[in-house]
Amino acid sequence: MRQHAINFANTHAMTSTISRYFANMLIMVAALFSLVACTDNKLQFKSIDITGADYARDFAADGAMLDHDGKPRAIRDFAGKIVVVFFGYTQCPDVCPTTMSELVEVKKLLGKDGDKVVGLFITVDPARDTPEVLKAYTANFSPDFLGLTASSPEALAKVVKEFKIYYKKVPGKTDTSYTIDHTAASYVFDTQGKVRLYTRYGSGAPALAADIKQLLK
């Protein structure tokens, strides 16, 4: 009887150990599936995801940037919209018109959601890009686009620093025929006014449209 009791106790202990082992295994498997699910839920963008960046947050200060009607502008003015910000100049021969044209194509690809996309064209050539010139330039692409200019040279310096934009004047044959080398990329803000994406020049309209679709979900 004593031996039988010992065998029973040993068997019970072994059974408990095996049960605990399988219980722990089930917990580990459940945790693994949970981790995979979280990974799958993370948005996968074709552009560079800069969510939470400590730069490109907004225009330098209130009144720093004016639209082509002379109205002070900030990212918060476009709440509920996807905002695409690009720095350039109206006499740019290639990069700027190509970027603006691609943004027009993005709006078309998005269908009715295209109305939720606003393009902001910030000039790095305020000497030639007067409000009238900016208004005509952006309207040539879409009535939803706005041309912005800095309220002063100091304001422009602050905003290009905030957005990490490079630009440099390249002398031409005359004082007014210069060109400007500049960063060829766009920043994308979500409907809450938070910077989310950095999209390189040449990425193409379909890629940007796909990214914006995710931000609108």
Residues 102, 205 within the same domain: yes
Interval 100-125: pLDDT, tens: 999 999 999 999 999 999 999 999 99
> pTM (2 decimals)?
0.80
- CB atoms under 10 Å from CB of 101, counted, come to 14
Which residue in 43, 40, 20 sits closest to 32, CA to CA? 40
Percent of the chain with pLDDT over 90: 72
Residues 94, 197 within the same domain: yes
Number of domains in the chain: 2
CATH code at 191? 3.40.30.10
Residues 76, 90 within the same domain: yes
DSSP state of 93: S
Residues 24, 52 within the same domain: no
What order do you get walking across the sheet with 82-88 strand by strand?
48-49, 195-200, 185-189, 82-88, 117-123, 146-150, 65-67
Residue-range definition of the domain harbouring residue 197: 48-215
DSSP state of 70: S
**Contact criterion met (CB below 8 Å) for 74 and 82:** no
Q: Mean pLDDT in the chain?
A: 85
Residue appearing with tokens 């994406």: 197
Interval 13-58: pLDDT, tens: 444 544 554 445 444 544 444 444 443 457 889 999 999 999 999 8
| Residue 150, pLDDT score | 94
Residues 58, 26 within the same domain: no
Residues 112, 82 within the same domain: yes
Residues 175, 75 within the same domain: yes
What's the pLDDT band for 140 if we cut at 50, 70, 90? very high
Residues 162, 182 within the same domain: yes
Residues 154, 194 within the same domain: yes
| Residue 5, pLDDT score | 45
Residues 117, 208 within the same domain: yes
Residues 149, 193 within the same domain: yes
| Residue 60, pLDDT score | 62
Residues 38, 78 within the same domain: no
